Structure 1
Amino acid sequence: MSKYVVGIDFGTLSARSILVDVSDGTIKAASSMDYPHGVMERKLPNGTTKLEADWALQYPPDYIECASTTLLNVFKASGIDPSQVIGVGTDFTECTMLPTLKDGTPLCMLDKFKDNPHAYVKLWKHHAAQDEANRLNEIAAQRGEEFLEFYGGKISSEWMFPKIWQILNEAPEIYEAADRFMELSDWITLMLTGEEKRNSCTAGYKAIWQKKTGYPSKDFFKTLDPRLEHVIDTKMSRIIYPVGSKAGYITESSSQWTGLPVGTPVAVGCGDAHAAVPGAGITGPDIMLMVIGTSGCDMMASRQNIKVPGMCGICEDGILPGYFGYEAGQSCMGDHFAWFTKNCVPEEFSAQAKEKGMHVTAYLDRLASEIKPGSSGLLALDWWNGNRSVLVDVDLTGVMFGMTTTTTAPEMYKALVEAVGYGKRMIIDTFKKHGVTIEKLYATGGIAEKSPFVMQTFADIIQMPVHVTASKQTTAMGAAMFGAVAAGGAHGGYDTIEQAGNAMGGGVKNTYLPHAENSKTYELLYQEYSKLHDYFGKDNDSVIKRLKNIKKTTSY
């Protein structure tokens, strides 16, 4: 009888489950479901409590509902009995965090806190803790804290401790009531197994934990705020489990909403982008995987331990055991293009797309691909959601230069795609400048799968071949592989993630080679982008910062 594993991928807007043959990685069924409450940026579910600028919250029951529905769908579609599942793995966006009671009950589910925004899930792109991040970085630099070197010199407002500190500053009653502050990758494991098993991936990349040194000292947290001195011991945990290890088993309770048999092994959680590395079949060093979705993450395992300024982090065993795992990324990719198609496309283009039976973004891809690089006179900075790497500054905003009364929507769209490509090259060039070897570029995610135009633009700008993974579900596949490792070789799974990756990993579907003529033009444009990047991005008193401060004082 064949054996299977389940991978559950919790993304920004939806959750998806896949049922995978453990022997060769064949996906027998897949199902996705949008979160009913989506991303809450303006109001809480009550419809009356308004949110301030830069907030991004989610509603925790949505995760359970989506996981339950998609699991039911994959078993129904495949006809496979759940008893044939030998392991379960999950991945989650990060840092997506939640204040809970000890048993994992979200504080927002308690009547007394249901109208308090700080009781809800703070999604990864909740950027309202920038003041706390700025202060944390300032104090860490003053103290000469060595951990800064592991995170490119700055801790992001997207990460765990700025978000915790914001709760303490703005809603101390929530801080006091919280028994735990949890990454959702660990919370979903708790919901499945009844065991609090925090994973090394999200702890290492989002909570300033390192394998050899642990968390920053109590004295550091006390210097930030005396009330934070014991935050690790009272609100978190110092016990961290490596990715791929077994967290526990499906319980009587979780069996009811997953449909999985009680006792099915469950892996510790993992960050979504990190899970995509083995999910793409990458089990060795020096291959960068570009995960291209709502935002973008760049992941790579390496034998080199080099501290690179402006990167999200380096963590030993953070992606693959035995290697140093690097992470960088861009805060706005799919969000970038979705914003443009929603707000800036004339009705005539939408009508033309509809006539051709095309989504408007695909139609813009076609039109933009016909525009010669440089011919529009446009150049954009890709900071619509701030900058994650290499400037690490969420207060930066997007800019487009060179517009005239003859500028068209396809030209503007092409400039935005190019901007993301320039930002990607800035990341890669920074790695190389500091001595990190990058031999190959892989890409995965919805945009990589659906948009040859975007991928060809990336190849032309970066001037390296871009290999698109064959699997459409690399993040969920990586989670499934961790489920196979949790099951173990003796029970039909695998003993290491390398073994699982080699057996279940996908391969390459398409390769985009740089076009020499386009690359020549893009080299000139990239030099101009680099100048603007430094001019507007490295000045703490730039017009971008001043405009955002004015917005904060007048919009809400």
Structure 2
Amino acid sequence: MSYFIGVDVGTSSARAGLVKKTENGGKLIKFHSEEIQIFKPSSGFFEQSSSNIWQKVCECIKIVTSEIRDKSQIKGIGFDATCSLVLLDKNLQPLTASPTKKHEQNVIMWLDHRAQEEADFINSLKHDCLQFVGGKISLEMEVPKLLWLKKNLFEESFNKIHFAFDLPDFLTFKATGKDSRSVCSLTCKWNYDAIKGEFPKDYFKSIGLEELCENNFKKIGDHVLFPGDLVGELSKEAADEMNLLPGIAIGTSMIDAHAGAIGLIGSSTSQQRDIELTSKLILIAGTSTCHMSITRNILFCPNIWGPYKNALIPNFFLHEAGQSACGILIDYILSSHQDYEKVLKQLNGKNIHDYLYCEILRMSAAENLKSFHELTKNFHFYPDFHGNRSPIADSTLTGMAIGLTMHNSIAISYLAIIQALVYSTKHIIESLYQSGRDEFKSILICGGLSKNKLYVQTTADVCKIPVLSSFESESVLIGSSMLGAKASGIFSSLEESINELKNEAYQIEPDWNSFDYHDRKYRVFLKMLNDQNSYKIIMNE
């Protein structure tokens, strides 16, 4: 018997899952989650502690492996995490990233927006390497944040950096003591050129980060590996913290959304058994939502990240788009509604999302509508409450609502915000098509919102594409376990690991009766975007 461990560090929690190979794919037999700390020292600032994160990771692993008597059966561990920035000093201790100057706060989170000015400056130089991030670097990426640290915390932090890690790479470093970096993180978040196999030195010098070029970019990564490559063996120190045996293979890490993508990309149904991996759009839909797809050839799309060579699967090019606020925005709209508390009292143990979906269906039947979507005919949201990551790449965009009255139903507000988020997905898809991408034949979905029936059905209806949802709900943990499985040597390649541990899915078909309605409502969505920009022009006259 062979087991693999998948570790996923998300925005607010660390999780570990124990996975074994069965005839039906990778089976998650136990998982555990622990909350991790988030610090908010100022508006737009979000920080964490790498020590707190590592402690919670070890606790999770101890719990999920507690019933395995023969720990030698655990063959590999894979890690994924959010693309947050971790700072360590020369003693490999936490180095402050915070205006509070507290050293425990040594992680700048992915959703931190402190580096707007630095991102704008970098974009103004229009370096050729920015074509791989859609023409504009995001303030959520690591390089603008490092430039912010140089400008604002030079003596306290920047000048003392020994290692600056993406969080997934920090985890493999802690597990093995070996300094390596994943091409996934470096290419997607650090402006690494995976086609040439190097950092663009002239770029870092031109933006004022020449210090990072020293010693072949040792501080940010001079030893680059593919996802699932063997980083090294679990060290005795780390093994003691996890209550495991040293020597377990540790696979090169991935960003959390990307681990979800490999955990899902092999999934299929009887209707779509043999379709190409390149014809699939993968949604990792949770707090934020990532949209991922791969091509065999280089393809550039304005304001969509990529093409990233080897970032997901070797010899394929990844395109990545996203929404900075998705699940968190739905929660915000619900919790800020005047009837929210009243609805909570009526749930009787029922999930609020299921409850509201039933209410939407009841209201639609009462009005004898052709599609329940028509309930929002006179109510429209524009969803960029936390700025737009794709396909506009404008962090200054904000949310909008049309049709507000004194008596807006919480169910209709809920339906309208989900529709708006999916129109944003349609906007991303159309941008990819306009850049020459072949059409998608299926959308595969995982993450918290994959359990939201209304969101899944709306995605199929708006995009007019079947949606596949895996029978294994924890695709991210399956994906990270695939990295450990590849590193163990049991599988010869990451693609083989994907094929052997993949799971079957079920298919949600689009509702053809809603197509015309969504076409019209999508036109309203685009007009709201244009109107918002026109308001800015008026107010800046």
TM-score between the two structures when normalised by the length of structure 2: 0.90
Report what 2:442 is aligned to: 440
Which of the numbers 100, 114, 120 marks the counterpart of 1:128?
A: 114
C-alpha separation in 2, matches of 1:521 and 1:501 = 39
Report what 1:362 is aligned to: 354
- Unpaired runs of 5+ residues, structure 2, are 267-275, 365-371
Which of the numbers 180, 185, 190 marks the counterpart of 2:173?
A: 190
The letter for the 2-side match of 1:187 is F
Kept in 2, the 8 Å contact 1:16–1:32? The answer is yes
Kept in 1, the 8 Å contact 2:85–2:164? The answer is yes
TM-score between the two structures when normalised by the length of structure 1: 0.88
C-alpha separation in 2, matches of 1:284 and 1:513 = 19
Kept in 2, the 8 Å contact 1:387–1:394? The answer is yes
C-alpha separation in 2, matches of 1:429 and 1:40 = 37
Report what 2:532 is aligned to: 536
TM-aligned CA distance change 1:194 to 1:349, over 3 Å: same
Pairwise CA distance, 1:332: 0.9
Pairwise CA distance, 1:26: 1.6
Report what 1:44 is aligned to: none
For the pair 1:405 / 2:394, whether they are aligned, the reply is: no
Kept in 2, the 8 Å contact 1:281–1:504? The answer is no
Pairwise CA distance, 1:80: 4.6
Report what 1:317 is aligned to: 310
C-alpha separation in 2, matches of 1:348 and 1:475 = 33
Which of the numbers 493, 517, 522 marks the counterpart of 2:513?
A: 517
**Cα shift readout 1:34-68 (whole Å, capped 9, x = no counterpart):** 21x2x322xxxxxxxxx222111112222122212
C-alpha separation in 2, matches of 1:464 and 1:236 = 40
Report what 1:172 is aligned to: 154
C-alpha separation in 2, matches of 1:426 and 1:226 = 35
C-alpha separation in 2, matches of 1:33 and 1:165 = 32
3-state SS of 2:93 partner: coil
Pairwise CA distance, 1:391: 1.1
Identity, in percent, stands at 24
Pairwise CA distance, 1:281: 4.6
Kept in 1, the 8 Å contact 2:340–2:410? The answer is no
Which of the numbers 299, 305, 308 marks the counterpart of 2:301?
A: 308
**Cα shift readout 1:225-283 (whole Å, capped 9, x = no counterpart):** 26657367363223311111010111111011112211111011111111122212528
Report what 1:151 is aligned to: 133
3-state SS of 2:241 partner: helix
Which of the numbers 69, 78, 81 marks the counterpart of 2:70?
A: 81
Report what 1:67 is aligned to: 57
Pairwise CA distance, 1:221: 2.5
Report what 2:390 is aligned to: 389
Report what 1:373 is aligned to: 373
C-alpha separation in 2, matches of 1:395 and 1:503 = 44
C-alpha separation in 2, matches of 1:229 and 1:446 = 37
For the pair 1:415 / 2:416, whether they are aligned, the reply is: yes
Pairwise CA distance, 1:420: 0.4
TM-aligned CA distance change 1:40 to 1:341, over 3 Å: farther
The letter for the 2-side match of 1:364 is L
Q: Give runs of aligned pairs for residues 94-105 of structure 1, distance below 5 A.
A: 94=83, 96-102=84-90, 104-105=92-93
Pairwise CA distance, 1:15: 1.2
3-state SS of 2:320 partner: strand
Kept in 2, the 8 Å contact 1:104–1:191? The answer is no
Q: Between 381-390 and 157-166, report the one with greater CA deviation.
A: 381-390
**RMSD in angstroms over aligned alpha carbons?**
2.3
Kept in 2, the 8 Å contact 1:82–1:259? The answer is no
3-state SS of 1:431 partner: helix
The count of corresponding residues between Structure 1 and Structure 2 is 517
Kept in 2, the 8 Å contact 1:281–1:507? The answer is no
TM-aligned CA distance change 1:531 to 1:484, over 3 Å: same
Pairwise CA distance, 1:375: 3.3
3-state SS of 2:278 partner: coil
Q: Between 3-12 and 533-542, report the one with greater CA deviation.
A: 533-542
Pairwise CA distance, 1:104: 3.6
Kept in 1, the 8 Å contact 2:441–2:465? The answer is no
For the pair 1:337 / 2:330, whether they are aligned, the reply is: yes
C-alpha separation in 2, matches of 1:196 and 1:469 = 35
Pairwise CA distance, 1:348: 5.3
The letter for the 2-side match of 1:58 is Q
Report what 1:91 is aligned to: 80
**Cα shift readout 1:303-357 (whole Å, capped 9, x = no counterpart):** 1311011112221111111211111111111111121233225255334433x32
TM-aligned CA distance change 1:352 to 1:262, over 3 Å: same
Pairwise CA distance, 1:540: 6.9
Which of the numbers 191, 202, 207 marks the counterpart of 1:208?
A: 191
- Unpaired runs of 5+ residues, structure 1, are 42-50, 547-556
Pairwise CA distance, 1:415: 1.1
